A and B are shown apart, each in its own frame.
Chain A
Amino acid sequence: MAGFTSHLSKRKPGAVFGLLLVFCLVLMLVSNRNVVIKPKQMGQSLFSLVQMGFHGLGSWFSNTWNSIGELKKLQEELEQARIKLLEYERASRSLTELRRENEQLKEQLGFSRALPYRQIPAQVIARDPGNEFSTLVLNKGSRQGVAREMPVIAFQGGLQGLVGKVVLTGLTTATVKPITDTSSYVAARLQNSRYDGLVSGGQLGTGGLVMRYVNKLATNEIQYGELVISSGLGGLFPQGIHIGRVREMQAKAYEASLTLEVEPIVDFSRLEYVFVLDVGE
């Protein structure tokens, strides 16, 4: 064992190179057909433990750095806060009243449940190591009830936006394929004009989505900025989740349908917290 690499180096570097290449090609062939999902899950579970450690370390450094800068601000703000405290005390009394009234109104209107599904809150802890593929890694896995094919949403800018679906689960982490991935397809509908289509990811770097197979009759009805929502067809994604807004429309004479460029509702570059939906129950 002591001279393992030396022994190999002197005798068979070319042979080892060939063997490793063949091994990788076989792995790709088999892996691409989803036969070896278990080793990938095991590997993900193993590496995710270290990933979580790195994420924690990074967060700690970031928080500490921010804290130093904030200390100075805190002193100034403390004085201002004291002055405002009395004001807030008065406001809080009326706020309690407003909350109670709000709760009652919500119950009356049936808005107490925004979504009729079990939700598993999760945090994005890592992303794909390369630029060729796009994945998000969440800090919740099969132990918390996350399973493959579960849809993932996020709340941003007052809207609930579709993030993607779970494609791989480890014990404590899950890998999500975002809707911006070119191999990700979502049955979608234009919210106002009600035309159906299929949304998939655009090219890397643009961060956009493309909605295809929209009926040409919709040309005069579609408005820029119109919301695109999930239609629920196919059963994978629940109906009515916001996907994006129409940014541009391409109507080519030789094509039977329209192609729309869609700006995602969710800003994936600042995505931190998401909800995994259990739509099976």
Chain B
Amino acid sequence: MTGNRKPLVVSLLLLGAAVLLQTTLLPYLAIRGVKPDLVLIILVFVAIRKGSMTGQLAGFASGLAEDFLSLSPLGFHAFLRICVGYFYGLTAGNIFVDPILMPLVLVMIATLFKGLASAVLIAVFSLPAAGFAAFSGPFWIELGYNAVLAPFFFAGLSLFKALHPRDKDEL
């Protein structure tokens, strides 16, 4: 496997595992029925390390997988993940990521963006989302849950050699 494809393949495998975990085991760890968004945390990490292209392709694939497993229409999660992957990828190589504060802030911003974009998509396409209310109680639980988990996931994902940051001109 060449060095160019390896980060994408590793990212897809990690995101695929996260999608499956979210549907099978994470409901047991839900707080008041709200699960953390592992896919989002991993995607933020991948995008800020490997750039826009890897970020958006990984986001597209993982989002589509979520759409297959969800009641959401095809494209809903894919749309959200592509945006996160692309925009976070633009910052690759330009920001310093410390072990705790930056993962927390980056994932919180990503969750806020997801909440806002979800609300827009649900409103524009009149999607039948179950009790979804923009920035309501469950959303803040998810935000906090994601933020708390982010530093741990970033630390764990740093161990993957394929996801180490590359030179700026390669991003």
Contacts and interface: CB of A to CB of B under 8 A. Distances in A.
Contact of A9 (B32, B35, B53, B142): B53
Given A17-B56, A204-B130, A24 B79 contact: yes
A2 B130 contact: no
Interface stretch (A47-55, A214-222, A249-257, A258-266): A47-55
A33 to B, nearest CB: 9
Interface residues of A, number: 62
A131 to B, nearest CB: 5
Given A9-B171, A28-B75, A183-B130, A133 B70 contact: yes
B162 interface: no
Given A23-B75, A43-B68, A129-B69, A16 B131 contact: no
Interface stretch (B101-109, B120-128, B148-156): B120-128
Interface of B: 2, 4-5, 7-8, 19-25, 27, 32-35, 37, 39, 51-54, 56-57, 60, 63-79, 82-83, 86, 89, 118, 121-122, 125-133, 136-139, 141-142, 170-171
A198 to B, nearest CB: 16
A201 B131 contact: yes
23 contacts: A13-B53, A23-B75, A28-B76, A28-B125, A31-B73, A31-B74, A32-B125, A43-B65, A51-B24, A54-B23, A58-B25, A126-B69, A129-B19, A129-B70, A180-B130, A180-B131, A182-B130, A204-B33, A204-B131, A205-B131, A205-B136, A205-B137, A205-B138
B24 A55 contact: yes
Nearest to A178: B130
Contacts, number: 199
A170 to B, nearest CB: 10
Contacts of A50: 20
Interface string A1-27: 111111011000100110011011111
A133 B54 contact: no
Interface of A: 1-6, 8-9, 13, 16-17, 20-21, 23-32, 36, 39-40, 43-44, 46-47, 50-51, 54-55, 58, 125-135, 137, 167, 175, 177, 180-183, 201-207, 269
Contact of B4 (A2, A32, A47): A2
A185 B49 CA distance: 46
Contact of B56 (A16, A26, A203): A16
